[in-house]
């Protein structure tokens, strides 16, 4: 698979509460921008893959059909919806890569989209909880904030309290989002605010504070993928250098949650497939659905030993000025988390970083990107390594 598929265009709506836009509007906007940026005609697209979770968030039960609203020239093109909880976007990307690698397609549009804010917080929480194990009453009763609250509590029992490190992660990601015009939340939150329970930062699911939780968002992102043989014909191109998807058991009772074994395997195999080490990675976009998740991902990446992930944030490694910046976009924490769009957003923003098109977010060094997108409680794990075009 290595170097067979490249990204040549991207599209990205603003994330946030977008009351005036329907799911269809979001899909159309992101897709049209990606097509325009790639400099292709819609008729050149061979297939379309949509990442979309839904779970009752909207009434659109056949969202893949909405792709055809992007252009009349997409009529009769095959369009498929991919769903894998919060990793639905990456599921769509990996399906597109497979289509190109197998020779079934040469040019593919991938779009991820979600419309969440038309539901109440309670309704969204219930919908997302559908990605948990339903055949155990004890697990089925837990929301995702409660699940990751348990992770933070288990971490403290096994190692030490992660709370100050989690506050530093939240503050870092909010600071990064200030440079991202597409981010949902443009608000600095200093360490003291994030580390202190208050009326403005209440406990959501003990011990998680509001500042430890990602946002309920609307939004869409899109990319154009092509066979790498023709990537040089485009103004900008980034190679899919390595990738890996592993799925773990859904029941929490069957695994050690905070070991994050699935993320560790996916990340290490993706880097092995790309023939790179952590020292080669210029930046990473990872799945910080809750700040404890980003802390556990540091350990899964190999930035620190088990139980010592706090090192990576305390010594500045993962900050924007550090040796391996993590979530320079603001991450799910501040950029926003429209579930089906998240994986595609990570790839779109990384593509822009690697091609020098990231605006105020642009890093000085951007050769390799590591992307990690997760569905559920480390159940569906997708890791990708991207390489800047030469």
| Contact (CB, 8 A) for 324 and 298 | no
Which tokens is 40 given?
A: 């292709």
Catalytic residue among 52, 236, 287, 337: 337
Dihedral (CA of 110, 177, 358, 292) sign: negative
Could you check whether the bond before residue 50 is cis, i.e. omega within 30 degrees of 0?
A: no
- The continuous run of DSSP H or E covering 221 comes out as strand 219-227
- Compute the half-sphere exposure of residue 205: CA atoms within 13 Å on the CB side of its CA: 19
Catalytic residue among 12, 52, 82, 86: 86
Known catalytic membership, residue 174: no
Distance separating alpha carbons of residues 18 and 117, to the nearest angstrom: 8
Question: Which residues lie below 8 Å from residue 254, measured CB to CB, with a gap of 6+?
Answer: none
List CB contacts of 358: < 8 A, sequence separation 6 or more. 349, 352, 366
3-state per-residue secondary structure call for 250-269: CCHHHCCHHHCHHHHHHHHH
Is 337 a known active-site residue? Answer: yes
Region for residue 203 given its phi and psi (left: phi exceeds 0; alpha: psi -120 to 50; beta: otherwise): beta
Going by C-alpha positions, the residue among 115, 138, 110, 13 that lies closest to residue 56 is 115
Extract the tokens encoding 160. 């030490």
Instruction: Please give the positions annotated as active site.
Output: 86, 337
């Amino acid at each position: 698979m290595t170097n067979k598929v490249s990204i040549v265009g991207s599209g990205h709506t603003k994330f946030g509460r977008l009351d005036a836009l329907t799911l269809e509007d979001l899909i159309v906007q992101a897709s049209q921008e990606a097509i325009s940026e790639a400099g292709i005609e819609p008729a050149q697209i061979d297939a379309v893959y949509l990442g979309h979770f839904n779970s009752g968030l909207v009434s659109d039960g056949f969202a893949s059909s909405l792709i055809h609203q992007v252009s009349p020239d997409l009529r009769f093109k095959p369009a498929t919806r991919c769903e894998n909880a919060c990793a639905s976007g990456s599921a769509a990307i990996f399906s597109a890569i497979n289509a190109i690698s197998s020779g079934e397609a040469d040019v593919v549009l991938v779009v991820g989209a979600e419309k969440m804010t038309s539901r109440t917080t309670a309704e969204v929480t219930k919908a997302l909880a559908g990605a948990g194990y339903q055949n155990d009453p004890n697990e089925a009763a837990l929301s995702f904030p409660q699940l990751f609250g348990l992770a933070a509590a288990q971490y403290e029992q096994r190692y030490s309290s992660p709370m100050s490190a989690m506050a530093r992660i939240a503050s870092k990601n909010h600071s990064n989002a200030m440079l991202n015009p597409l981010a949902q939340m443009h608000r600095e939150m200093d360490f003291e605010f994030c580390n202190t329970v208050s009326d403005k930062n209440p406990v959501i699911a003990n011990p998680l504070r509001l500042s430890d939780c990602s946002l309920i968002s609307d939004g869409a992102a899109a990319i154009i993928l092509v066979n790498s043989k023709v990537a040089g014909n485009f103004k900008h191109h980034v190679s899919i250098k390595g990738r890996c998807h592993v799925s773990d058991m859904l029941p929490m009772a069957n695994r050690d949650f905070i070991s994050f074994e699935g993320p560790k395997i996916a990340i290490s195999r993706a880097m092995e497939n790309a023939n790179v080490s952590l020292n080669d990675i210029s930046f990473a976009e990872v799945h910080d659905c809750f700040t404890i998740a980003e802390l556990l991902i540091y350990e899964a990446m190999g930035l620190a030993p088990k139980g010592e992930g706090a090192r990576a944030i305390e010594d500045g490694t993962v900050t924007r000025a550090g040796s391996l910046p993590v979530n320079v976009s603001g991450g799910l924490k501040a950029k926003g988390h429209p579930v089906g769009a998240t994986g595609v957003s990570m790839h779109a923003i990384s593509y822009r970083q690697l091609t020098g098109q990231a605006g105020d977010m642009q890093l000085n060094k951007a050769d390799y990107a590591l992307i990690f997108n997760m569905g559920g409680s480390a159940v569906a794990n997708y890791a990708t390594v991207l390489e800047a075009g030469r």
